[in-house]
Amino acid sequence: MMRSLLPPLLRVAGHGPIDRGKYRLALWAYRHLRPLPAPQTVSLFNGLRMEIDPNEFVQSQIYYIGAYELYLARYVRQLLRPGSAFMDIGAHVGQYTLIAAGAGASVHTFEPNPSNFVRLQRNVELNALQGVTLNRMAVARTSGMLQFSLPDADNTGSGSLAERPGTQTVAVNATTIDAYCAEHGIQPDFIKMDIEGGELDALRSGEQILRARPALVLEASGEALAQFGHSCAELINYLVDRGYKLHTLARDRLVPMNGDTIADDYDNLICLPA
């Protein structure tokens, strides 16, 4: 009985006004309180609804505290303006797509994982959002059909275009940033990208678009980048050479960074025109 009451009680605490300890709360609950009934419909911190599986790592944070990577999600929301053009590359089940569309942005969303895409589509429909273009495809250095390595059930955002021996794959369509934007006649103001090490290849597919220096939020993982033959230093140098100033977030504070301060294991980079 007590075990069944804990998840809703922790959700009340996780959605409360005090931020300290929220991530640790969500992580503890994820590790100790599964399995939970799925799917469940819950609210993001901005009030929009999402249908999620609370037993999966990313979606468990949405369930317990209202967002995955709560401080980053809030910061992205602060950068958005009505009428902004937003690209969500590696959209998973749609958290950032919903945040951007809820802020009045025009959103172009990319998710190659078939099962994630179904839930992403469901979450857009659940909120009757307008101005969202859904693309069941990857963004890569070249266009065409590519093999996509499917993730495990515990972290459904970890699928990748990198070759992973022994992992089930599916064929997916891929486009480039420049080709897609030219086809749709858009110049994005903001690109959010989390594609498990494919970030540098995707950026190189957008040389024309990057000349206008849209704001970027990127995942930088040395281990993931290495699967594509790249490194964090290479990614950072590429961005700096194109006129970006790099930052990380310390809770809700934007911190300028130097190339030697990034953690090789994982960081989120916020890249703004210098």
How much of the chain, in percent, has pLDDT values that exceed 90?
88
User: Contact at 8 Å (CB) between 63 and 42?
Assistant: yes
pLDDT score of 227: 96
The pLDDT mean for the chain works out to 94
What value, to the nearest 5°, has the Cα angle with vertex 47 and ends 43 and 48? 70
Q: Residue 265 — pLDDT band, cuts 50, 70, 90?
A: low
Condensed to tens digits (0 to 9), the pLDDT of residues 141-170 reads 999 999 999 999 999 999 999 999 889 999
d(CA 266, CA 69) in angstroms, rounded, equals 13
pLDDT score of 88: 98
pLDDT score of 212: 97
Condensed to tens digits (0 to 9), the pLDDT of residues 80-130 reads 999 999 999 999 999 999 999 999 999 999 999 999 999 999 999 999 999
pLDDT score of 118: 98
Amino acid found at 222: G
pLDDT score of 264: 58
- Using the structure block, give the residue that is written with the tokens 């006129």: 243
Burial 158-171 (b: 16+ CB within 10 A, else e): bbbbbebeeeeeee
Residue 1 has pLDDT above 80, yes or no: no
User: Contact at 8 Å (CB) between 126 and 93?
Assistant: no
